[in-house]
Chain A
Amino acid sequence: MSGYTAVTEHDLEPMLAAIGVDSIEQLFDGIPAGVRLSGEIDLPPGEPEQDVYAELHRLAQRNVCTEDETTFLGAGMYDHYVPAIVDMLMSRSEFLTPYTPYQPEVSQGGLQVMFEYQTAISELTGLPVSNASLYEGPSAVGAAAYLAKLSNKRPRVLVSRGVHPDSRETLRTLAVGYGTTVQEIALDDAVTDLNALSDALSDDVSAVILQQPNFLGAIEDVAALSAAAHEHGALAICAADPLTLGVIEAPGRQGADVCVGEGQTLGNRLDFGGPSFGFFAATEQHLRSMPGRIAGETIDADGRRGFVLTLQTREQHIRREKATSNICTSQALNALAGVVYLSWLGREGIVEIGELMLQRTHYARETLAAIEGVSKLHDRPVVREFALRLDVGGPDGVSRVVERCAAAQINAGFALARAYDEYGDGLLVAITEQRSRQDIDRFASVLAEAVAAERARAAAGAAA
């Protein structure tokens, strides 16, 4: 017996008697001898709560988290401030512990949260219908391509090289299953090459997939790219950073048929990559092929306003092999964090936080690019992330610069060589509202030193 079960000897006897067996072991008689575990599972014995806590604490201490360094690392997840009310609401029993709302009469809390979340996502993306969440960003991109396939049955999808590498790889992995070929469209000066896209488009293309801002931080011309897709009858799918949508135009107003993305920036922690949530919004015509749970408004037997899971015939538990997706558990609690966060930011706050990031990002890019040996990889308009070139002899040099910065408790960002062979000397730097001018100035000074030291080292090596 542990602290979580409650069967004592006092309980056991009458329970066995009611069942009509002599021992618990008898209840497992149905397991054939050939598949019985002889002996125990090979795991150490259980520990008291305080020891488990100590162990988890020890492991936590072995990680350098964003409290231990000033981080400019982004590339898909960002160190934003999560307000205290998010933690408080997420930890309430009534939100933390129930199941998916299959009995709506006792789940109005969760269902209304979904409805308010769907409204918020619809507002951000400029598209009329949203689901109640998917797992996270990259798999949402895969789900969008699946919807496109169900919609027009065409076999090919074009994805910009500006889309997050994990999204492109996830898309490829999932596309193997539903039989779509994936073709990449190159970047031209850090944004999707419209000519290359037009050349690649034909009537066998199901969808064109972009990211806004793209992986290099650049703002894409979603309107032009979507128009090109539409000219050939393809869907325009835009993966967007939701926290930039207070200052960047909504993809839905620029021709995107589907807008998806990673929701981590909305009130969710980094958590070494998850759990967060993915959002998925689309035009009205795709409502009945959308994946995931959808909450809908209705009335009860006495005429009261209420909410239910609706359009369930799309889903696996009813449609089974013809379902629009296999998703069952999604990310309801993280979506709750998202809608609480968006409510906390409010109509004015979403614009203000965008403006703040915009100005500080500009300042950071100008400041860092002024360093000897550092230049802009591109000069496209950016909102919260940008790419630099470090003249330090290639990827190894960049790694060493990042290492030097880390020793000064600064996480300099993402070395682009990790994902793009063509940007071997690149560094991707992210700004959030938590990075003050002081932080940026300190970063500049540490980076300047690190780059200088690395260039000196390289020069010494060359001279040797």
Chain B
Amino acid sequence: MAEASYPEKLHYHAEHDWALLDGDVATFGITWFAQDALGEVVFFDPPEVGSTVTANEFYAEVESVKAVSDVIAPLSGEIVEVNTALADAPEAINEEPYDGGWMVKVKLSDPAEVDSLLDRETYVSGL
């Protein structure tokens, strides 16, 4: 994705991750800033369905040619789905960080955690 963009509807974590809420299930991914800093993504190794993620802790790694980055969970819960398309096309993380580049879907264990995430304006102002 050529132009920086940060959709209004998402919740943001200071470590450059986003969460999209749908009831008590949230989708996670990394922001435009993160994919831009990483360069072209070459590998994403997702965690297993059924494993737990904890807010503010890393749950996966994303690799470009010259760097490896920890992916931080914005919220806690159990992984119910992973984006298997990224195995063959990890560049979706660069091209559509908020759509085709989604990483995992998590059933939240503590929906109230959302309150400590940042809104679009606050996150962007911190960049």
Q: Which residues of A contact B (CB under 8 A)?
A: 288, 312-313, 318-319, 322
Contact = CB atoms under 8 A, between A and B. Distances in A.
15 contacts: A288-B43, A312-B65, A312-B66, A313-B43, A313-B63, A313-B64, A313-B65, A313-B66, A313-B67, A313-B68, A318-B66, A318-B67, A318-B68, A319-B68, A322-B68
A288 B43 CA distance: 10
A318 B64 CA distance: 11
Nearest to A317: B66
Most chain-A CB neighbours within 10 Å: which of B63, B64, B66, B67?
B63
Interface in B66-117: 66-68
Of B43, B64, B66, B68, chain A has the most CB atoms within 10 Å of the CB of B68
Is chain B's interface secondary structure helix, strand, loop, or mixed overall? Answer: strand
Q: Secondary structure of the A side of the interface? A: helix
| Most chain B beta-carbon contacts within 10 A, residue among A312, A313, A318, A322 | A313
B72 to A, nearest CB: 16
B34 to A, nearest CB: 16
Given A313-B43, A318-B67, 10 more contacts: A288-B43, A312-B66, A313-B63, A313-B64, A313-B65, A313-B66, A313-B68, A318-B66, A319-B68, A322-B68
A318 B38 CA distance: 13
A319 B65 CA distance: 11
Contacts of B64: 313
Contacts of B65: 312-313
B84 to A, nearest CB: 17
A301 B33 CA distance: 26
Interface string B38-71: 0000010000000000000000000111111000
Contacts of A318: 66-68
Contacts of A288: 43
A288 B67 CA distance: 14
A312 B63 CA distance: 10
A119 to B, nearest CB: 22
Give the 7 A-B CB pairs with smallest separation, nearest first.
A313-B63, A313-B68, A319-B68, A318-B66, A318-B68, A318-B67, A312-B66
Contacts of B67: 313, 318
Nearest to B69: A313
Nearest to B68: A313
Nearest to B65: A312
Nearest to A288: B43
B45 to A, nearest CB: 8
A288 B66 CA distance: 14
A407 B65 CA distance: 60
A319 B43 CA distance: 14
Nearest to B67: A318
A313 B43 CA distance: 10
A287 to B, nearest CB: 11
A318 B68 CA distance: 7
A322 B70 CA distance: 11
B100 to A, nearest CB: 22
Contacts of B63: 313
Contacts of A319: 68
A259 B52 CA distance: 35
Contacts of B68: 313, 318-319, 322
Nearest to B66: A318
B68 to A, nearest CB: 5
B40 to A, nearest CB: 12
Contacts of B66: 312-313, 318
A313 B65 CA distance: 7
A319 B66 CA distance: 9
Nearest to B70: A322
Contacts of A322: 68
A125 to B, nearest CB: 25
A441 B34 CA distance: 72
B7 to A, nearest CB: 29
A288 to B, nearest CB: 7
A316 to B, nearest CB: 12
A374 B104 CA distance: 69
Interface string B9-31: 00000000000000000000000
A312 B65 CA distance: 7
Nearest to B42: A313
B89 to A, nearest CB: 17
Nearest to A323: B68
Contacts of A313: 43, 63-68
A297 to B, nearest CB: 15
A322 B63 CA distance: 13
A312 B43 CA distance: 12
A381 to B, nearest CB: 43
A263 to B, nearest CB: 29
